[in-house]
Amino acid sequence: MSSIIALDGVGKKYQLGDTEVEALKSSNVDIEEGEFVAVMGPSGSGKSTLMNMIGALDTPTSGEVFIDDEKASGLSEDELALLRSRKIGFIFQQFNLIPTMNATENVALPMLFRGVSKSERNKKAEEILVDVGLGDRLHHMPSELSGGQRQRVSIARSLANNPDIILADEPTGNLDSETGKKIMDLLTDLNDEGKTIIMVTHDENDAEYADRIIKIVDGETGVEE
């Protein structure tokens, strides 16, 4: 297998008033295609910053980020947006669904930005929702869905453009343990199908689903299990 994500000496500093905060220190991370990796660390350790670097959502102060051998720093904002839409699906703890759109419309939205026709994107969205067990909730609004169902919609949306990489930020954080297990089983199934899964979690039970764990403390990575 080859690296699908590589961070080479990546650091990130933020200016907060007169104070400079080093959120991420020179980090070297390699994630191979098809891996399931958990990122763990205490609050404020730099997990979110690390995920923002991996997902090309933020620019490092130092070092280089490579996504599928493509150097992110050499790309324009439009090129980065295209890379993210083609390569990466995002799953959030807060679901981030649009409340005025039903399940199908929420899942279809990423395809709109790829220029897919309305009929085709709705057809594919419905197929993905069926795949994640929501075939009877296609036209329900987020307010009509349980937390677990909303997270399944979020997962379905992350799959809309058939990305190679799924970034999941605390995907079970707002769910009860039984529902959380179902979501982790779904992520495992996606990994078995060949998706690379990178998941931030505080939950040691969730981390056990991963092939390995990257630990981050005070902005420093490198301790892996």
Fold adopted by 3-224:
Rossmann fold (3.40.50)
CA triplet 199, 75, 49: central angle to 5 degrees? 30
* Residues 118, 106: Cα–Cα separation, whole Å: 13
pTM, entire model: 0.90
Residues with Cβ within 8 Å of 88's Cβ and at least 6 positions away in sequence, in order, are 55, 56, 67, 163, 164, 165, 166, 167
Which sequence spans correspond to the domains of the chain? Answer: 3-224
Identify which of 143, 155, 157 has the alpha carbon closest to the alpha carbon of residue 180: 155
Q: Spell out, as residue ranges, where the chain has pLDDT lower than 50.
A: none
- Whole-number pLDDT of residue 119: 95
What is the structure's pLDDT at 111? 92
pLDDT at 92: 87
Percentages (nearest 5) of helix, strand, coil residues in the chain: 35, 30, 35
C-alpha angle 95-83-151 in degrees, rounded to nearest 5: 15
**Residue the block writes with tokens 């979501």:** 183
Angle between helices 103-112 and 147-158 in degrees, nearest 10: 20
Element (H, E) at 154: helix 147-158
| pLDDT, tens digit, 9 for 90 and up, residues 168-194 | 999 998 889 999 999 999 999 999 999
Exposure string (b/e) for 61-84, b if CB count within 10 Å is 16 or more?
eebebbbbeeebeeeeeeebeebb
